[in-house]
A and B are shown apart, each in its own frame.
Chain A
Amino acid sequence: MKLLIANGHLIDPAAPENTGMSVLIEDGKVTAWLRPGEAAPNDAEVFDASGLLVAPGFIDMHVHLREPGQEHKETIASGCAAAVAGGWTSVCPMPNTNPVNDNAAITRYMIEQAERAGLANVFPIGAITKSSDGSELAEMGEMKAAGAVAVSDDGRPVPSAGIMRRAMQYARDFGLPVIDHCEDKSLSSGGVMHEGRVSLLLGLKGMPALAEDIDVVRDILLAKETGTHIHIAHVSTKGAIEAIRRAKNEGIRVTCEVTPHHFTLTDRAVDGTRTSGRNSGETQTDIRVPYDTNTKMAPPLRSEEHLEALLEAIKDGTIDAIATDHAPHHADEKSLEYDRAPFGITGLETAIGLAFNELVHKGVIGLERLVELCSANPAKILGLEGRGTLKPGSIADVTVIDPSLTWTYRNADSRSKSKNSPFDGWTFQGAAVAAFVAGRLAYKR
């Protein structure tokens, strides 16, 4: 079975390559690159990628697929459908399922459900501690053997530096990166948005940037001491960025990711002011809808200075990856008081649009860097062999993007079971138009 993704513009920063090139795929693997005019085998099925960008499949290293346990929010099948529609050929679900993914049986179950769905690859992230309760270490070795690619207690970050130190010492034996959602809950508990001017205006309890900064600094010191690779999830503060930049300069094994919502929105979205990052002289202000629970997530949308620091870090390489933190919640759960609504928004289907609007079109980064952030680097961080590149011999996960397609995202059209995105009705230029997983067409727009 041969497939030719023909006449596209290949962007493969791991190769590195950035040129017009057709990609030949056989039995799920890339076998050759063909320059324009080079003869293709005439028995290959042809996907015409003229005018389109062809990139190694995007890998979202931070999602919540809710299965097992909260299938009313999302299933692995519905989450994977949303993933491929958003251009992500691989996703890494966090372990905060019910039961928690703290053992090999759950890890295997997630992978099997993904295989049944037959859409995106699922690489589970196992728990650091049993039930993610921060006390006893989970069976990391067994989870790794079952297919887990990293460990994290995500939304319930390990509060004890002592346990975290042991977790890092132990994870190193298995080559597992430790991913931390950095939040010192003694500083942030009860908070529902960024602590600052807007929380003051709205009378909502704030979560100070300090709560993130302190935990990031702790983790960096532990990474330095243990030599374990620490990956900081959804970094959102200027202080965290500065600490990570310093640590990288010192050669400490630290990487980090940013979410599209954190590089797009500020805390003023909670007051109903719709804005997008810098250089946007045309701040869009809709009808003011304050206290929209789809602006509530952890870490919270931060203020302008933090967003500026994130953009700078995306530009200078301090930030390694873009990850969505796709966090589906049922409408019933979000239709509550702002204080009581759960944290989190969906993100799989809007990420590329936001990256184009806020990063590419505004000149923050170029296309190569975008592919690095969404594919090459996540593959490297998680040690995914044969992914994050389309060099001959690699696995044929391919994301095909139309950089000029203008489209409008609608929650109602989302493939996710949940519709909790603040970007409902936003218009983007740039979209995934096809996704191939191991050479098989998983999505076509």
Chain B
Amino acid sequence: MEKPFRRWDLLGIRTLSAAEINGILDTAENFREIDTREIKKVPALRGKTVSNLLFENSTRTRTSFELAAKRLSADAVNISVSSSSVSKGETLLDTALNLDAMQPDCIVVRHSSAGVPHQLARVSKAAIINAGDGANEHPTQALLDAMTIREHKKKIEGLNVAIIGDIIHSRVARSNIHLLTKLGAKVKVAGPGTLVPKDLEHLISQNHLRERVGSATDGEQQNPPGNAGGSGLLTVCGHVEDAIRGADVVMILRIQRERQDSAYFPTLREYAIHYGLTNDRLGLAKKDVIVLHPGPMNRGIEISSEVADSSRSLILDQVKYGVTVRMAVLYLATGGAVVRL
């Protein structure tokens, strides 16, 4: 479909190049200064409309996008809809077309099903920003994490990043793995065997996969884990300690309590003991390690309060940069040009 006003959709990190990612981050750096002003508002997006279409509850992400839009003088509206369009007797297509008829410049969408932003982008005239789709991607979270890391480590390339927890259901983990490896960081993941895909390395080996078209052998089950990633930037560790050892950055993922009921692990207590980030475990990392968590935290489960409240924890910085990064994304999506540092 023709999209006359659209410059840019942000559907995921997977399809972005390192240059595109750096372009967004550089643009965001330029917006940081706005947040420190007494009057935190610039006219960059005056007259533009941003619709936050939320099929999934999320106070934090919604507020962050809303503030980002308002600081750029865009008109922001929040549309909360029940978790599925089906329950209203309306198809996803209807929802998209109805919203589109109101002529927004940009639609920020969050949904519990993977692919919904892609499906909307196919029919909508507005630019689509993915604010989290199922277990697929959460690109602005990865961008704000990258901004936080850049601020404290001055670079991303060559860093050792540990990502700990429920990898398989985590769009945050997925977007971060794409972003960090594209920018040259080494990522190690760990978590319960039930929550870490055994062949996760394939996540960043798409090119390898495409080259395989037409080859008869080399089936997916024959590849020993660890050999197929190609670039070697992504490693699945058997133990949390192995992932944290020597890390510059430790990212802790939120544990969804309902996973316990689905028999992914026996109890939250056992999870905290064997997989939680404690001061002892964090001692294995580099002295100047930083700790990130996408929130909201389960204190005492995936992260101990000692760690969460320590100076190593940058959780509030993440929230702060969340607004900045989203300003940059909205600006670019509605036609702004990348600002180079």
Q: Which residues of A contact B118 (CB under 8 A)?
A: 290-291
Q: Which residues of B contact A280 (CB under 8 A)?
A: 213-214
A292-316 interface mask toward B, CB cutoff 8 Å, 1 = contact, 0 = none? 0000000000011100100000000
- Give the contact-size bracket for chain B: 35 or more
Closest-CB distance, B81 to chain A (whole angstroms): 12
| Contact flag A337-B116 (CB < 8 Å), given A201-B203, A203-B133, A203-B137 | yes
Q: Is A204 a contact of B85 with CB atoms below 8 Å?
A: no
What are 9 sample pairs from A and B whose C-beta atoms fall under 8 A apart?
A196-B220, A203-B174, A280-B213, A291-B118, A305-B220, A335-B91, A336-B91, A337-B113, A340-B86
Interface SS of A by simple majority: loop
| A304 and B217 alpha carbons, distance in the complex (Å) | 9
A71 contacts the other chain (Cβ, under 8 Å)?
no
**Of B16-24, B194-202, B242-250, the one touching chain A:** B194-202
| A204 and B92 alpha carbons, distance in the complex (Å) | 17
Residues of B within 8 A of A (CB): 14, 84-86, 91-94, 111-116, 118-119, 122, 133-137, 171, 174, 197, 199-200, 202-203, 205-206, 209-210, 212-216, 219-221
Q: Which residues of A contact B197 (CB under 8 A)?
A: 200
Additional A-B contacts beyond A197-B209, A337-B111 (19; CB < 8 A):
A196-B199, A200-B200, A201-B14, A201-B202, A202-B114, A202-B136, A203-B134, A203-B136, A203-B137, A204-B114, A204-B135, A205-B135, A278-B214, A280-B213, A283-B213, A303-B219, A332-B91, A337-B92, A338-B119
Closest-CB distance, B179 to chain A (whole angstroms): 15
| A204 and B137 alpha carbons, distance in the complex (Å) | 11
Q: Is B135 a contact of A335 with CB atoms below 8 Å?
A: no
A42 contacts the other chain (Cβ, under 8 Å)?
no
Tell me the chain A residues, 176-209 only, with Cβ under 8 Å from chain B.
196-197, 200-205
A211-228 interface mask toward B, CB cutoff 8 Å, 1 = contact, 0 = none? 000000000000000000
Residues of A within 8 A of B (CB): 196-197, 200-205, 238, 268, 273, 275, 278-281, 283, 289-291, 303-305, 308, 332, 335-340
Closest-CB distance, A300 to chain B (whole angstroms): 14
Q: Which residues of B contact A200 (CB under 8 A)?
A: 197, 199-200, 202-203
Q: Is A336 a contact of B86 with CB atoms below 8 Å?
A: yes
Q: Which residues of B contact A305 (CB under 8 A)?
A: 219-221
| Contact flag A278-B216 (CB < 8 Å), given A200-B199, A201-B203, A338-B113 | yes
Q: Is A283 a contact of B220 with CB atoms below 8 Å?
A: no
Q: Which residues of B contact A196 (CB under 8 A)?
A: 199, 220
Residue of A nearest to B202 (CB): A197
| A340 and B19 alpha carbons, distance in the complex (Å) | 36
| Contact flag A337-B216 (CB < 8 Å), given A203-B134, A204-B114, A291-B114 | no
| A204 and B112 alpha carbons, distance in the complex (Å) | 11
Q: Which residues of A contact B213 (CB under 8 A)?
A: 275, 280, 283, 304
Q: Which residues of A contact B119 (CB under 8 A)?
A: 291, 337-338
Closest-CB distance, B41 to chain A (whole angstroms): 36
Q: Which residues of A contact B93 (CB under 8 A)?
A: 335
Closest-CB distance, A105 to chain B (whole angstroms): 32
| A201 and B113 alpha carbons, distance in the complex (Å) | 14
| Contact flag A289-B84 (CB < 8 Å), given A337-B115, A338-B113, A338-B115 | no
| Contact flag A204-B219 (CB < 8 Å), given A304-B212, A332-B91 | no
Q: Is A204 a contact of B86 with CB atoms below 8 Å?
A: no
| A304 and B171 alpha carbons, distance in the complex (Å) | 26
Q: Is B84 a contact of A337 with CB atoms below 8 Å?
A: yes
Q: Which residues of A contact B84 (CB under 8 A)?
A: 337, 340
The answer, among A201, A203, A281, A337, for a CB contact under 8 Å with B85, is A337
| A303 and B135 alpha carbons, distance in the complex (Å) | 21
Q: Which residues of B contact A291 (CB under 8 A)?
A: 114-116, 118-119
Residue of B nearest to A273 (CB): B210
Q: Which residues of A contact B220 (CB under 8 A)?
A: 196-197, 303, 305
The answer, among B94, B115, B203, for a CB contact under 8 Å with A204, is B115
Residue of A nearest to B112 (CB): A339
Q: Which residues of A contact B92 (CB under 8 A)?
A: 335-337
Q: Which residues of B contact A332 (CB under 8 A)?
A: 91
Q: Is A197 a contact of B199 with CB atoms below 8 Å?
A: yes
Closest-CB distance, A445 to chain B (whole angstroms): 33
| A335 and B115 alpha carbons, distance in the complex (Å) | 12
| A308 and B205 alpha carbons, distance in the complex (Å) | 21
The answer, among A201, A203, A308, for a CB contact under 8 Å with B216, is A308
The answer, among A268, A275, A308, A339, for a CB contact under 8 Å with B113, is A339
